Amino acid sequence: MLNTSANNKKSNDLSKLLDISLGMIEKSNLSSLLGFIMEEAAKIMLADRSTLFLIDFDRNELISFIAQKSEIKEIRLPMGIGIAGHVARYGCPVNIEDAYKTPLFHKEVDRQTGYRTRTVLCVPMKNREGKITGVLEILNKKSGVFTEYDTWLLNSFAAFATTAIENARLHEDRERTFLSTIKTLAAVVDRRDHITAGHSERVAKLSVNIGKAMGLPKNELTLLDYAATMHDIGKVVIKDDVLLKPDKFSTEEREEMNKHAQYTKEILSKIYFAREYKDVPTIAAMHHERLDGTGYPYGLKKEQLNTIGCIIAVADVFDALMAFDRPYKKVHTLSETLDILKTEVEKNHLDAHIVNIFIQKKAYLQTFPNIKNRNDHYIDDKR
Ligand SMILES: [Fe+2]
Ligand SMILES: [Fe+2]
């Protein structure tokens, strides 16, 4: 009879573990994954709380993450301190029936938080190579003490959690590497002309701020960041005598300059983008299109354009008006710039909804903090 109920519990826990591991895969970033792991670990172990520690190998420290009001707070401890530090160093699980009776227990955290730790179960998190990368600690079982079965269950849980964390870190590392590469490329292109220095970065920031003001989801904000950062990358193909010309363009020069949008698409089409970002080349090339179809390079109309492309178009016009000081075209004040944006909406060039949100929510303020008043100009000390 006892065996049957033990078997039932085991198969029940295994099915919960499977659900939890599927939940881990769905988490879009490391911080929400860590919060999810700690919450689910406490639940499945029928315990009061759980803490996850990751090892910072560079500083020889344990970093713990505590969920506080939907935010994950980071606490650092030297390696070897407390139960978690012991498990991180020696790699064996530790099961304690009364924390205050073991010298391993570090009472300082309880003292600071006012919490009273009784039972503790702590297991190492080992990656595929068997290297300890963290520790999972469960505090205060709701009834009784932790058993051998609990150790088995938490070890199994920790194996799933370790793989999920490694994957999330790899994913974030890859995205960070990719983003820093394209930001550098864009900055190099902007730098060819001192007047446009910083343009791509500002357009990316402006675009993301507009996207946030519109409530776009995280994946679309990333798509926006990528496409906006690279929107003018096609300028790399434009010859110096056109790109750097101090005077107004002739018709041929204007035509040549306008080709940069098409070049942007051609260049970006050679880069491998993950499935969710496969539209970056098309979207990045949309920034000079107009809703009425009179833009370039393809003369696309409103129904052929998408929101992300239209956001970049607004950010691009704003930055060009505020920041490009050419002998034949002076920079504009905030008031003049916003009036031009409104005129562009009336002419059916820019999207009314996007421009309205941009103006109402002042989505330019974070990128241009020094233009608070209507008569302010953009000043860049670094130029
Ligand atoms: Fe452009
Ligand atoms: Fe641009």
- Looking at all shown ligands, the one closest to residue 186's CA atom is 2
Q: How far is the CA of 237 from the centre of ligand 1 (A)?
A: 13
Extents of the domains making up the chain: 2-169, 192-360
Q: Separation of 231 CA from ligand 2 center, angstroms?
A: 6
Please report which ligand is nearest the Cα atom of 315: 2
Structure tokens at 338: 């916003």
Tell me the CA–centroid distance for residue 317 and ligand 2, in Å.
8
For residues 61 and 319, give the distance between their C-alpha atoms in angstroms, rounded to a whole number.
Answer: 44
Of 195, 180, 151, 138, nearest to 328 by C-alpha is: 195
Give 120's strand partners. Answer: 96, 139
How far apart are the CA of 192 and the centre of ligand 1, in A? 14
Which ligand has its closest atom nearest to the C-alpha of 265? 1
- Torsion angle in degrees (nearest 10) through CA of 365, 366, 370, 372: 20
CATH of domain 2-169: 3.30.450.40
User: The CATH number of 192-360 is which of 1.10.3210.10, 1.10.10.10, 3.30.540.10, 3.40.50.300?
Assistant: 1.10.3210.10
What is the CA(24)–ligand 2 centre distance, in A? 39
Note whether 2-169 and 192-360 share their fold: no
The ligand placed nearest to the CA atom of residue 260 is 1
> Which residue has 């420290």 as its token pair?
61
Q: Which ligand is nearest to the CA of 190?
A: 2
Distance 173 CA to ligand 1 centre (A): 29
Residue by residue, pLDDT tens for the chain (383 residues) are 557 888 888 999 999 999 999 999 888 788 889 989 999 999 999 999 999 999 999 999 999 876 555 566 778 888 888 899 999 999 999 999 999 999 999 887 788 778 899 999 999 999 989 999 999 999 999 999 999 999 999 999 999 999 999 999 998 998 899 999 999 999 999 888 888 889 999 999 999 999 999 999 989 999 999 999 999 999 999 999 999 888 889 999 999 999 999 999 999 999 999 898 999 999 999 999 999 999 999 999 999 999 999 999 999 999 999 987 766 678 899 999 999 999 999 999 999 999 999 999 999 999 888 887 777 777 654 44
